[in-house]
Structure 1
């Protein structure tokens, strides 16, 4: 038993072999590398969550070589609370380890009332970054993202705000999330002119949700921009959790904001069951195979996971040990997915 994992009120001593547990990839053409598995704090770190459990999750992640923690201004609930709790955990456990960590945050979704608390204006992005730094108790974030496209704000203004945050020393790198291939290319060109490279794109991407394969991944590869995929397990759908129905303690049963019960159709279950059989044949869980499927593409820098228990991280991290698929597996899986 790891006393630090299960007794988070005791002083934290990180595992000495942590960087031997993980593989790392270069982020595009930059000098930065990221762990192949990163930890997102979208769920289970708000004020409605168990703070002690959250500390255990962060500790276990770092012990496994996951040195990238991903947040956003609106993570909670309520908005801002994930950053507040992370700031407390940072102060208690990781303050002496700051230079080993990549910490990211984002802004782009509804955050506070009025016309300046949403979307992509310079007013909103600069204020959001300032607020995020205050909540987390940090001088800077390693990566700051525009969280979603904003058709009403000129792209030059939004990218100019990201450039400004780097020049102010509030962010080391900048990224975007959920931008189309066309808008990603435009954002890249604007930032290149400003002298602040576009480091990374954070798209939603899974075996089921493959929109990035219709041009975006090609743009990222051509421009030398990194990528970090979120929702790789489709909110738990790409696990063995729902093969025999909807468990009472599952996200679909308890919280319909992210995965609705009606999304778990008989057709989906049949597809997942077939994928699960292939995963078993590979000596993996379905979740591990779903993560490995994304990592087989070297243009993917990292896969972003969210967990509710420390031990789930061990299962996720084991995926990096086998992210190679033979030709038969690729053909069979693509046939199941209809790709």
Structure 2
């Protein structure tokens, strides 16, 4: 039976404007990066997606690479869209990305016109929709002229296959350049998707926050919980079945004494505020005015509810921010 969304779903979150655009996004966007491949039960995936929508999360972030196998996450969402959310397509912000390798073919990687636009057509097929709301270049490709990449992205909008354009994982210099190229093509850069957390503070250090303000694009940040390091999961070691035992993105060797000391100190600050470490970490990234939305995933509806409640706590005091800065050290837990 088709899902009936919660009637009060738009009363629960305060939406935020993406840069200088006219588009509002929820403070939390839902990412299908992990746990939405064929290795997880579809019924659980469907339940989580629909619960996110009931909470007022309208932005669902995908990519051709997400799975496993590649493209599987888009097909999962396409199935939920067809079964439950088709009548609400105009209320959804669907995004996808292309450019990261998805196969051995030279046309299954990189940011050439061929690779980007072919992937977009395949993603529309996977999702079962005639357009996405945001189409991203997934990463900077130094082997392709930025003019070609920008031209392909602009074409996606001009052809009606995307409403807005984003970039992801771009260093500041090419990000500034492609923002200018897109503007001259009549297609403003809506958002940049970098990694940002208390343990990965590159957007502060490399000038990306300032660049976003200067060029008028928003930031949709991913890994705000540092692959689970900014939760209580690893404070006392690595539990059985945890992501650190079998993940490409989180290795056991980063869960060392230095990590535990810093995470424990942050957990203590969070407890003093009556919140969890995860809620503190999410609230911390959202305090930046350039951050439009933080991408979160979930393996259960409880986890989703818990993380969204990060919005319910009072702002940080200057003293709390100073203490958080002391322990939220860039590079903690990053892969070696």
- Where on the TM-score scale, by shorter chain, does this alignment land: which range? over 0.9
- Report the counterpart of residue 332 of structure 1 in structure 2: 323
Alignment check: 8 A CA contact 1:61 1:313 kept: yes
Are 1:155 and 2:161 matched, yes or no? Answer: no
- Report the counterpart of residue 126 of structure 1 in structure 2: 117
Displacement, 1:338?
Answer: 4.1
Which ranges of 4 or more aligned residues in structure 1 deviate by more than 3 Å?
none
Are 1:235 and 2:227 matched, yes or no? Answer: yes
Counterpart pick for 2:275 among 278, 284, 293: 284
- Report the counterpart of residue 98 of structure 1 in structure 2: 89
Alignment check: 8 A CA contact 1:238 1:272 kept: yes
Displacement, 1:322?
Answer: 2.5
Displacement, 1:323?
Answer: 6.0
2-structure distance, mates of 1:218, 1:322? 27
* Secondary structure of residue in 2 paired with 1:301: strand
Are 1:221 and 2:199 matched, yes or no? Answer: no
Alignment check: 8 A CA contact 2:199 2:329 kept: no
2-structure distance, mates of 1:32, 1:287? 27
Are 1:32 and 2:2 matched, yes or no? Answer: no
When normalised by structure 2's length, the TM-score is 0.96
2-structure distance, mates of 1:316, 1:159? 35
1-structure distance, mates of 2:329, 2:87? 48
Alignment check: 8 A CA contact 1:295 1:323 kept: no
1-structure distance, mates of 2:4, 2:314? 30
- Report the counterpart of residue 7 of structure 1 in structure 2: none
When normalised by structure 1's length, the TM-score is 0.95
Alignment check: 8 A CA contact 1:44 1:50 kept: no
Displacement, 1:256?
Answer: 2.7
Corresponding residue pairs, total: 329
Are 1:82 and 2:73 matched, yes or no? Answer: yes
Counterpart pick for 1:257 among 248, 254, 257: 248
Measured against aligned partners, the alpha-carbon deviations of 1:31-59 in whole angstroms (never above 9, x if no partner) come to 00000001000111111111000000011
- Report the counterpart of residue 333 of structure 2 in structure 1: none
Alignment check: 8 A CA contact 1:23 1:320 kept: no
What residue ranges of structure 2 are gaps of 5+ in the alignment? Answer: 331-336
